[in-house]
Amino acid sequence: MANTLKFGNGEWYGKKDTILAYNDENSNYKPLPFDFSRASKATVINKDGLIEEVGSGQPRIDYLGNTQGALKLEPQRTNVITYSSDFPNSYWTKSGATIQGDPSTAGSELVTNGDFATDSNWVKGTGWTISGGTANCDGTNFATISQSKTLVVGKTYKYSFTISNQTQGGVRFFVGNSVGVTHSVNGTFTGYITYSSGSSILLQARDSFIGSIDNVSVKEVQGFTSTDGTTNAYKLVEDTSNSTHSVNHTSVSSNIYTISVFAKYDGRILQLASTSTGGHYANFDLLNGVIGDSGATTTNVTITEISNGWYRCSMTTTTNMNTAIINTVQSVTSAYQETYQGDGTSGVYIYGAQAEQGSYATSYIPTQGSAVTRLADVCNNGGNEQVINSEQGCFYFEGNVFKGDDTINLISITDGSINNYIYLNFQTNTNQEKVRYTVSGSTQINYNFPSSETMYANSKYAISYKTNEIKVYRNGVEIITDTNAVMLSPNTLNKIQFSFNNTDYFKGYIKDLKLYNTALTDNELAALTQV
C-alpha cells in the first residue's frame, strides 16, 4: 500500500502562491507544489488558538479544533461592518450600556534605564554587556538580561525594544514567565503579553544572538486581551437603567446575512439580534459555551470555542437585515432584546464583529472605516502523470465541506478537460455527496451517496479503481462497488484540483489527501477510512 503523494496530515509546507504536497518516490519525499491563490489578506486560528493575519497569496492552515491543522479554503465574503472592533466609535449606537477599555492607552513605564544610559539596574547574564548606550550580546545562546518587577496576574503588558547591529540569531521578550515572539532582524518591535507568573522583565538571546538592544519599554495596557493576543478587546457593560442593554449598527442590505462576534463571559448572556421582520435573535451562554433560545426563523446558530474563554458566536437571518445588535441579557431563555434592571458592572467582552452576506460565518475580516472584502481561496493543479496512475490506484481524502449556500464543491483528479476525470461532489443545497468517473467523455460511474450530513463533519473518503472494479468507501463503510468500469489510458490524469477545471471550487477544510499507485483491498480501504 505504497502512496505516491502525501498532502497534509499534520505536514504542512508552503509559501506565497504555493503549498507543497510530497511525492513518495522510492521513499524519498520530493516537493510537489499546488498552485494557490487569494488576492487579499485573510485571518486564521493559529496553533496557539489566536487569530492571526496572513498575507495575500498565503495558504491558511487553520488549527481551530484540530491539533494537526487543515488547509482552509473559503469563498469570497465582505464584512459590511465598517468598524469591526472599534466599539467606542460613534458608528456603534449604545443603548442602556457603555463600552469599557481603551487599547490605545497604557500605564506608566515599568522599565528603569531602558535606554541603557548607564551600566546599572539590569542583571546581565553571561554574554551581555552594557556600553555606548546599548546592551550587547556576544552570541552566548540563551543568555538573558533582566529586571525584577512586581506584575499583576491577568494583566496585559505592552513591550517594545530596538535591535541593531544584528549579525545572527534574535531576541525573545519575557514578561515574567509569559513569552513573546522572537525577533531576528534589526528594527523596533512591539508586542503584547498577558502576565501569568514570574517576577522579571527579561530579554533572552536566541539562536546565538549577536547584536545590540536599546529603548526597552514595558507598560500595563488599559484594554482587554482579545483572541489575537493583543489588548484590542472591549467590554460591553450594562448601565443601571431598566431597559435594553446593547450596541448596534445599521446596515443597508437586502439578502440573507450572517452576524458574528467574538465574546467572553463577564456576568451576562450574549444575545445577537437583528431588526429584521420577526425580531431574529440567538442567545449564547459564554460561561458554559452553549446555545440558548433563538428566534423561530433564525438559522445556523453556532458557538465555537477559540481560546482563553473566548467564543465565536454567529447566527443567520433568513430575511433582510436592517440592524445588527449585540445585547446583554439575563438568561439563555431571554426573549428578543430583553428589558431588565442593569447593575452597572456586568456585561460581556466583545471583539471582531462581522456581518456578511451568506448563510454561515466565515473567518474574521477586520475593518477600520470601510467594508473589507476577503477574496476566495483557490488551490489547484497539484500532481502530475508520474504520481497519478491512470490505470489503477486509490484516491484518499479527509476533511469536510462548509454547510451553507455555495451548492457545489468538487475535488477532482483530471487531465484538465471534461472528458477524463474522477471527482467527489459535495452538494450543500441537497445534503448530497456524489462520485463520478468519466473516460473519454463516457460516464462509467455517476453515483449519489445515501443522503447524509456526514460531509459537514470531518470525514474520510477513498476511491479505489482498476479494470472492472471501482470501490468507494466513506468512514470505514463500503458505499459502492462497480464491476463494469472501463479504465483510463496510461498517463492520462495529471492534475489534482480542489475544483473541477476551475469551476465549482471546494469550500471547506482539507486535512489529508493521499494517492496510491495500486488499487486497495477491502480491508485496506476499511482501515484507511476508519474513524
Residue 384 lies inside a defined structural domain of this protein: yes
What pLDDT is stored for residue 179 in this prediction? 86
Residues 6 or more apart in contact with residue 228 via CB below 8 angstroms: 50, 51, 52
Residues 185 and 279 in one domain: no
For 374-415, give the secondary structure using H, E and C. Answer: ECCCEEECECCCCCCCCCCEEEEEEEEECCCCCCEEEEEEEC
Residue 67 lies inside a defined structural domain of this protein: yes
Rounded distance between C-alpha atoms, residue 72 and residue 529, angstroms: 21
Q: What is the pLDDT of residues 399-446, one digit of tens each?
A: 999 988 778 999 999 999 999 999 999 998 888 899 999 999 999 999
Residue 226 lies inside a defined structural domain of this protein: no
Residues 116 and 162 in one domain: yes
Residues 401 and 479 in one domain: yes
Q: 374, 400, 426 — which closes off a domain? A: 374
Residues 16 and 46 in one domain: yes
Rounded distance between C-alpha atoms, residue 62 and residue 509, angstroms: 8
Residues 414 and 521 in one domain: yes
What pLDDT is stored for residue 394 in this prediction? 96
Beta strands in 296-346 (DSSP E): 299-305, 310-317, 323-329, 340-341
Q: What is the pLDDT of residues 289-346, one digit of tens each?
A: 999 999 988 889 999 999 889 999 999 987 666 678 999 999 999 999 999 999 998 9
pTM: 0.78
* Cα-only R_g, the chain: 27
Do residues 481 and 492 touch, judged by C-beta distance below 8 A? no
Residues 302 and 347 in one domain: yes
Residues 308 and 412 in one domain: no
Residue 228 lies inside a defined structural domain of this protein: no
What pLDDT is stored for residue 278 in this prediction? 63
Domain count, the chain: 3
Q: Which residues pair with 238 in a beta bridge?
A: 97
Residues 369 and 396 in one domain: no
The grid coordinates listed for 238 are: 450594562
Residues 190 and 281 in one domain: no
- Integer CA distances (angstroms), 523 to 142, 399, 460, 465, 471, in order: 51, 21, 15, 15, 12
What pLDDT is stored for residue 275 in this prediction? 79
Which structural domain, as residue segments, surrounds residue 111?
A: 106-221
Point out the residues of the chain with pLDDT beneath 50.
none
Residues 6 or more apart in contact with residue 387 via CB below 8 angstroms: 4, 5, 23, 25, 32, 515, 517
Residues 367 and 390 in one domain: no
What pLDDT is stored for residue 429 in this prediction? 83
Residue 235 lies inside a defined structural domain of this protein: no
Assign residue 137 the CATH number of its domain.
2.60.120.260
Assign residue 493 the CATH number of its domain.
2.60.120.200
Residues 293 and 385 in one domain: no
